[in-house]
Every structure is written in C-alpha cells, then in structure tokens.
C-alpha cells in the first residue's frame, strides 16, 4: 500500500509550509518577526506542531539560509557566459555585493548570524555554499593560469578576495561605518573593487 509514501509526502509538504511561512515573514517583516509562534500563526497550527517537523528554530533558519544560497547560486549562473576570467572575476564580485546590498537580512543570515550554523547537518554537507565558493576559486585559478594574477597560491587569493567583499558589505550591514551614508555603499564598493583589482590584476 502507498500509505507510508503518502505520509512521507505529507511530512515533506508540512516542512515546506513551515519553511515558506518563515520565508514570508522574513521577507515581509524581517528577521525579528520570524518566531515559532508567528510561523505557527501563519500556517494555522500550534507552536508545538512546528517542532514535529523541525528540531528547533535554528534548523528553520538553516533551511531559510539555504534558499538564500540557492538564489545567490542562481545569480551566479550568468558567469558561465563570460569568457575572460578577469571579467568573470569582476562580475562575481558585483553579483555578490549586489546580492548583499539588495538582501541585507538574508546576507546577514547567510554569512554573519550565528544561529543557522548551529543546525548545519555536518561540516561537509555545506554543499550549497561550497558550490559558489568553488566557482570563485576556479575563476581565480583561471586568472592565475592566464597570468592575470600573480600568486603562488590561488586558494589564498580566492579567500582574500572573498574576505574583502565580505568585509565591506558586512561593515555596511552591521553599521560599522556610520560616516558613510547608506546611499553611497554601492559606490564605495565599486571603488574598492577598482582599487583592489587594479593592484592585483594585470
């Protein structure tokens, strides 16, 4: 009988309901509105029910974070149509930073907040995030191979470039540069990319 299959399917549908309710709240009202009770309201079940489908809140945030990584990956797909590795590298940086500034709270959840990391399945099953990172790494490697970046270690260069971008956007997102008004963030990022790549890329 296909009973257990149906049960399995219903369980997945419920998880999906919870996740999309969480996402709706997150998008519409921000991170602080994503509470177990609000999610429960949204799906018209009791708070305790949520715990029958997700171990804890951090697991929900982890699943939510994953949707963010998927969206970022999706945006990175255009890179495959850019032949020159330097152009590809520049485009990577722009896509990354644009994503961060356009989805500040999601970026925060993905790269800054502690909570979702407490629920990572395992240190290795970090697949969604790793995919984007390996894409960047291969772009940098292409730059090195093409003689556009000179370094003995492409992995270090990759990490440095990521760190630079993450550094800038996280300073803005967590408001550590109050001297710079928000409407200039995008411009400053462009200038920083310009400066850095001018020195790194030949």
Partner DNA sequence: ATTATTTGCTAAACTATGTTCAGTAAATAA
Partner DNA sequence: TTATTTACTGAACATAGTTTAGCAAATAAT
Q: Which residues bind DNA (CB under 7 A)?
A: 1, 3, 7, 10-11, 14, 34-38, 44-49, 51-52, 56-58
Chain position carrying tokens 């890179």: 79
- Choice from 16, 156, 182, 184 touching its own copies (CB under 8 A): 156
Give the CA angle between residues 57, 58, 61 to the nearest 5°.
Answer: 95
| E strand or H helix that includes residue 60 | helix 57-76
70 contacts: CB under 8 Å, gap ≥ 6: 128
**Spatial distance between the Cα atoms of 197 and 90, rounded to a whole number of angstroms:** 8
Do the Cβ atoms of 128 and 66 come closer than 8 Å? yes
- Tokens for 144? 């090195």
Task: Tell me if 147 contacts its own copies by CB under 8 A.
Answer: no
Stretch near its own copies under the rule CB under 8 A, chosen from 9-17, 37-45, 94-102, 175-183: 175-183
Q: Which stretch binds its own copies (CB under 8 A): 40-48, 77-85, 136-144, 148-156?
A: 148-156
Minimum distance from residue 164 beta carbon to DNA (Å): 33
Tokens 């999706």 correspond to what residue? 74
Q: How far is the CB of 51 from its own copies (least distance, A)?
A: 22
Which residues contribute to the site for its own copies (CB under 8 A)?
Answer: 111-114, 117, 120, 123, 126, 150-151, 153, 156-157, 159-160, 162-168, 170-171, 174-179, 188, 191-192, 195-196, 198-200
């Amino acid at each position: 009988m296909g009973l257990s299959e149906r049960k399995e399917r219903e369980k997945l549908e419920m998880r999906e309901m919870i996740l999309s309710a969480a996402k709706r709240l997150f998008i519409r009202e921000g991170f602080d509105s994503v509470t177990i009770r609000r999610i429960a309201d949204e799906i018209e079940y009791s708070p305790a029910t949520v715990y029958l489908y997700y171990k804890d809140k951090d697991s929900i945030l982890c699943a939510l974070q994953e949707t963010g990584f998927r969206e970022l990956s999706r945006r990175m797909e255009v890179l495959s149509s850019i032949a020159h590795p330097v152009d590809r590298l520049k485009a990577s940086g722009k896509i990354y930073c644009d994503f961060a500034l356009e989805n500040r709270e999601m970026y925060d959840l993905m790269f800054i907040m502690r909570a979702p990391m407490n629920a990572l399945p395992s240190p290795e099953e970090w697949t969604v995030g790793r995919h984007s990172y390996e894409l960047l790494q291969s772009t940098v490697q292409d730059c090195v191979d093409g003689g556009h970046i000179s370094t003995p270690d492409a992995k270090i260069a990759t990490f440095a470039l990521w760190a630079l971008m993450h550094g800038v956007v996280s300073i803005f997102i967590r408001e550590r540069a109050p001297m710079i008004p928000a409407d200039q963030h995008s411009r400053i990022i462009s200038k920083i990319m310009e400066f850095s790549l001018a020195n790194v890329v030949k």
